[in-house]
Amino acid sequence: MEITKENRKWLDEMGLSHPIVIAGPCSAETEEQVLKTAHELKKTDTNVFRAGIWKPRTRPGGFEGVGAVGLPWLQRVKEETGFKVTTEVGNANHVELALKHGIDILWIGARTTVNPFVVQEIADALKGVDIPVLVKNPVNPDLPLWLGAVERFKTAGISQLGVIHRGFSTYNSLHYRNKPKWHLAIELKKEFPSLPLILDPSHICGRRDTLLDVSQTGLDLNYDGFMIETHIDPDNAWSDAAQQVTPAQLSQITDDLKIRQKSSTKEEFQRKLTMHRKELDLIDGSIIDILGDRMGIAKEIGKLKHSENVAILQSSRWSNMLSKMVEDGKEKGLSKDFIEEVFRAIHVESINIQHKV
Ligand code: PEP
Ligand code: MN
């Protein structure tokens, strides 16, 4: 399937001088909270107002959204501020209600993208309607599932498309609520270069103090914009309080972001160089992670061999492994010498670790 410039018309036609900013509360709570937040956001770079009307909660008992009574509040936001408005839809009924109330853009939540039946149901409910649909990544790091959801909308005739990167569920992250796993978004961008890619640092960070840093990475990687949860009184928000910022804090973030202009060729060069360097930094970080995991396994093997008094060096396994690596490397255009050098170093370190057990 091909995603073309036509599919990003909704964004290009906005003619923005900066990456798109979608802001507003995690949840619509009261009419006053929604309208006050929207009016404050008029003083910022915000282009589209967001608010969750139906909230998919991981566990029952939390605030599940005000439901359809909140839709007229978003209509008032449109009338009073001129913002386009967007909300999450999770089934065909939500689609029908959102369309009836003039919602301009729909987004598909991370817990919905995981389910092709529901994605298809929503896509079918949208047949014949040309409204932009933004697909959040699924909660699990599965790129085909994310792409598959986009393809279902495209196949159903939705021509205005985009994706939102909100990170991936994890049990063991100190820094992130949802790990960014940037390489997945970079892969997606390689597959569909014209598809607008929007960063949701709020759900990646889960806290306020790291939003700027994560947003800067998104900017350096050439994302098309940001969705940032913004609330008139974040500490007292009914959902996701820790990660929401005030409209004034949002302005601070967008002011602090170092935006690299696309105008001159020299700047274009700098921008591309920065983007590629950032990509390299992220890949190098993953290499370190993977090497750490590999050495952890080597240690386990060392313990096993020790318990059975088996020799550490198994020469036949090592030479088979090396020839396979050389073959695999060839397919990726990597030279035999390079692969041998890298894997010798890894092998030596593995043996040292096994010796220490
Ligand atoms: C949200 O944007 O408030 C939301 C529920 O997001 P996600 O689907 O990314 O968890
Ligand atoms: Mn939220």
The torsion angles phi and psi of 316, rounded to 5 degrees, stand at: -65, -40
**DSSP β-ladder status, 178-179 and 168-169:** antiparallel
Tell me if 109 CB under 6 Å of ligand 1: yes
Q: Which atom of ligand 1 is nearest to the CA of 167?
A: 9
Say how many Å lie between the CA of residue 304 and the centre of ligand 1: 44
Q: For the segment 230-263, what is each residue's pLDDT rounded down to a tens digit?
A: 999 999 999 999 999 999 999 999 999 986 555 5
Q: From its phi and psi, is residue 119 left (phi > 0), alpha (psi between -120 and 50) or beta?
A: alpha
Say how many Å lie between the CA of residue 277 and the centre of ligand 2: 31
Tell me if 231 CB under 6 Å of ligand 1: no
Q: For the segment 332-348, what is each residue's pLDDT rounded down to a tens digit?
A: 898 898 898 899 889 98
Average pLDDT of 62-86? 97
Say how many Å lie between the CA of residue 201 and the centre of ligand 2: 11
- 170 vs 147, higher pLDDT: 147
How many angstroms separate the CA atoms of 146 and 275, rounded?
A: 23
Nearest to 297 by CA among 236, 353, 227, 229: 353
The torsion angles phi and psi of 55, rounded to 5 degrees, stand at: -110, 115
Say how many Å lie between the CA of residue 324 and the centre of ligand 1: 43
- The structure's pTM equals 0.81
Tell me if 26 CB under 6 Å of ligand 1: yes
Q: For the segment 115-141, what is each residue's pLDDT rounded down to a tens digit?
A: 999 999 999 999 999 999 999 999 999
Return the residue whose CA atom lies nearest to atom 2 of ligand 1.
26
Nearest to 64 by CA among 73, 76, 55: 55
Residues 6+ apart with CB under 8 A from 203: 110, 166, 167, 177, 178, 229, 240, 243
Tell me if 22 CB under 6 Å of ligand 1: no
Model pLDDT, residue 306: 86
Average pLDDT of the chain is 93
CB 112 within 8 A of CB 118: yes
